Protein backbone atom coordinates (compact mmCIF):
# COMPACT_ATOMS: atom_id res chain seq x y z
CA UNK A 1 0.00 0.00 0.00
CA UNK A 2 2.88 2.35 0.74
CA UNK A 3 4.47 1.51 -2.60
CA UNK A 4 1.18 2.51 -4.25
CA UNK A 5 1.01 5.72 -2.16
CA UNK A 6 -2.25 4.59 -0.54
CA UNK A 7 -1.64 6.59 2.65
CA UNK A 8 -5.32 7.33 3.26
CA UNK A 9 -6.28 3.70 3.96
CA UNK A 10 -7.25 2.36 7.38
CA UNK A 11 -5.11 -0.17 9.26
CA UNK A 12 -7.71 -2.85 8.60
CA UNK A 13 -7.21 -2.45 4.85
CA UNK A 14 -3.48 -3.01 5.28
CA UNK A 15 -4.11 -6.11 7.40
CA UNK A 16 -6.44 -7.58 4.79
CA UNK A 17 -3.84 -6.98 2.09
CA UNK A 18 -1.10 -8.59 4.21
CA UNK A 19 -3.27 -11.63 4.97
CA UNK A 20 -4.43 -12.29 1.41
CA UNK A 21 -1.42 -11.20 -0.60
CA UNK A 22 1.50 -12.05 1.69
CA UNK A 23 0.19 -15.12 3.56
CA UNK A 24 0.45 -13.15 6.82
CA UNK A 25 -0.58 -14.93 10.02
CA UNK A 26 -2.69 -12.80 12.35
CA UNK A 27 -3.14 -13.56 16.05
CA UNK A 28 -4.95 -11.82 18.87
CA UNK A 29 -3.99 -10.80 22.40
CA UNK A 30 -6.45 -10.41 25.26
CA UNK A 31 -5.98 -6.86 26.52
CA UNK A 32 -8.70 -6.86 29.14
CA UNK A 33 -7.42 -4.91 32.11
CA UNK A 34 -4.92 -2.88 30.05
CA UNK A 35 -5.28 0.71 28.92
CA UNK A 36 -5.44 1.05 25.17
CA UNK A 37 -6.56 3.42 22.44
CA UNK A 38 -7.76 2.83 18.91
CA UNK A 39 -5.77 5.05 16.57
CA UNK A 40 -7.23 5.65 13.13
CA UNK A 41 -5.82 9.07 12.34
CA UNK A 42 -3.42 11.75 13.55
CA UNK A 43 -5.99 13.28 15.93
CA UNK A 44 -6.45 9.88 17.61
CA UNK A 45 -2.67 9.56 17.95
CA UNK A 46 -2.41 12.95 19.64
CA UNK A 47 -5.17 12.03 22.11
CA UNK A 48 -3.57 8.66 22.84
CA UNK A 49 -0.22 10.31 23.55
CA UNK A 50 -1.87 12.67 26.03
CA UNK A 51 -3.59 9.79 27.82
CA UNK A 52 -0.32 7.86 27.89
CA UNK A 53 1.54 10.85 29.39
CA UNK A 54 -1.10 11.27 32.10
CA UNK A 55 -1.13 7.57 33.00
CA UNK A 56 2.61 7.13 33.22
CA UNK A 57 3.50 10.50 34.74
CA UNK A 58 2.03 9.14 38.00
CA UNK A 59 4.80 6.54 38.14
CA UNK A 60 7.53 8.98 37.18
CA UNK A 61 6.67 11.29 40.08
CA UNK A 62 7.33 8.59 42.68
pLDDT value of residue 1: 66
E-only strand ranges, 1-62: none
> Domain residues of the chain, as ranges?
11-61
Residues contacting 5, CB < 8 A, separation 6+: none
Task: List C-alpha distances in Å: 11 to 18, 20, 56, 57.
Answer: 11, 14, 26, 29
pLDDT value of residue 62: 52
Whole-angstrom Cα distance, residue 9 to residue 32?
27
Whole-angstrom Cα distance, residue 35 to residue 59?
15
pLDDT tens-digit map of 5-60 = 777 877 788 888 888 888 888 788 898 888 788 888 899 999 999 888 877 665 55
Amino acid sequence: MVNNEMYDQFNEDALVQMIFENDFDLYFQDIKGYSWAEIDNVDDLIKAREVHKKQFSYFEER
